[in-house]
Structure 1
Amino acid sequence: MIMIAEDPTAAALLAVVPCYPVPSSGGSPALDALRGSRAGHGLAVGKDGVMLILRRPWLALDAPVTPPIAAYLPYGSIGSPKADLRCGLIPGEHLAAILDHFRAALPNEAAAFILWNETTNTFAVDFPAIDDATPTRLVYRPPVCEPGWHMVCDIHSHGRGPAYFSATDDADDAHATKISLVIGRLHDPAGPVMAARLCAGGMFLAVPRSPFSGDNPCSLRAPSATIFPPPSTTALSESCSWDAVETERKC
């Protein structure tokens, strides 16, 4: 067998993030194993582009990362994109508790995390230690999760300001796998506004609906316009599926 890389470190990295061509007919045990894994990620290369396949205990994501390949390839299709919450929707009462906490912190910004236990299938809210908080600046530390616990959402407020992702947020989220939420206009009688995105594989993916169950007390900002790839409808599954996976290019 020909080695893919001579350098042992490079070979180890390629083994952790494999790249598999999609066969033109029949199944692919390698891709099936990747899609069925508890945790891991890799790439599927097909005649219609390249798909990021990312798995975490709480998330199953298939997201296109390129347009269809112009060259002829004797490969099959990468399939439909999807973003399934293996953990299910987050109970709405957790969002209510977070909003109460954020309002109590006004005029300063505040933060919260949603954690999920894969053994008990339960969620918990973690209010982190705050190093510095003002109406326009927030420095906080993420939790160190115990075995079996996973961080699903990283949430912070913009107090009375609008909900948006700053350059600091972009830097913080660049290498994480999580749902990132910003909640603003907490003083508004019409209700607060929430910006949401799924951070995965170095990309920011727009989410078209709230990850919380029940009536959402926040107005969800429209997802950022998709630059590439075009919006697609996800396939439904037994776990909770968002309605679309859209990629926002980071400049």
Structure 2
Amino acid sequence: MTADPRDAAIGVSCPVVAVPRFGALEPHASGQRMLLARNGLFVQMKTPWLDCTTRVAEVGMHLPYGAAAEAITFAFGVIPLGLLERFIAAARRALPNEAAGALVYDARSGALRLAMHEAIEVGPGHVRYRIEALAADELVAIDLHSHGRLGAFWSGEDDRDDQGVRVCGVFGNLDRERPTARFRLALNGLFRELPHPWAVEPDGALLA
């Protein structure tokens, strides 16, 4: 380990932990840490609203460590469908332009609320917006924006904007009765696609 205090600070903010093969893994209190396991390299993220462990790389050699398992848990449970429907209604009122908003998590109550962002510059293919001031115990958990009459997809601009730790959702085809949508979890530049109420499995069942 280097004696440089900057490296020490990085090690505190994002430690690397070998997964025990025989004992129990020490619980993760908060923040980000990397888990080196026999089945890959995992990132574990813990925030007031998220507890997530996901693999970021496979390991091509046999390591003497324990195995890690992927899991994503939201403190608020599932994303409330009613709040998403309210965002869709607001986005439809903004047609043909795009719209942006967020589901804000209250760490005291454990509840989410919808906040629509004030548009600074907006058109059918873009939106720049101002985020309202949040209370001390509030965090943006789910970032939402629309693509107007276009389909739901992740643009290069979305990839640049969707940084930090949050769920991101985009709705498209808002001129249709049933919009298209895509959701993903952003973990400091790593993206994991998520199921959502508008995704339909081959047997026709809606994903929760």
SS in 2 for 1:220: coil
Aligned residue in 2 for 1:185: 173
Aligned residue in 1 for 2:164: 176
Aligned residue in 1 for 2:63: 73
Stretches of structure 2 lacking an aligned partner (at least 5 in a row): 202-206
Of 122, 137, 157, the residue aligned with 2:146 is 157
Which residue type is aligned with residue 137 of structure 1? H
Matched ranges for 1:97-136 at <5 A: 97-136=86-125
Of 6, 29, 48, the residue aligned with 1:57 is 48
SS in 1 for 2:2: coil
Deviations 1:186-236 (A, max 9, x none): 1113x111111110132010112x2xxxxx4xx3388xxxxxxxxxxxxxx
Bigger RCO of structures 1 and 2 (CA < 8 A, at least 6 apart): 1
The separation in 2 between residues aligned to 1:221 and 1:5, in whole angstroms, is: 51
Which residue type is aligned with residue 149 of structure 2? R
SS in 2 for 1:63: strand
Give the conservation status (yes or no) of the 8 Å contact 1:195–1:221.
Answer: no
Deviations 1:127-180 (A, max 9, x none): 11211111111111334432111111111111111111110000011x311111
SS in 1 for 2:57: coil
Aligned residue in 1 for 2:3: 6
CA RMSD of aligned residues (A): 1.8
Query: Does 2:83 correspond to 1:94?
Result: yes
> What's the % identity of the aligned pairs?
27
Bigger fraction of residues in strand:
2
The separation in 2 between residues aligned to 1:72 and 1:157, in whole angstroms, is: 45
Matched ranges for 1:216-231 at <5 A: 216=197, 219-220=198-199
Which residue type is aligned with residue 70 of structure 1? G
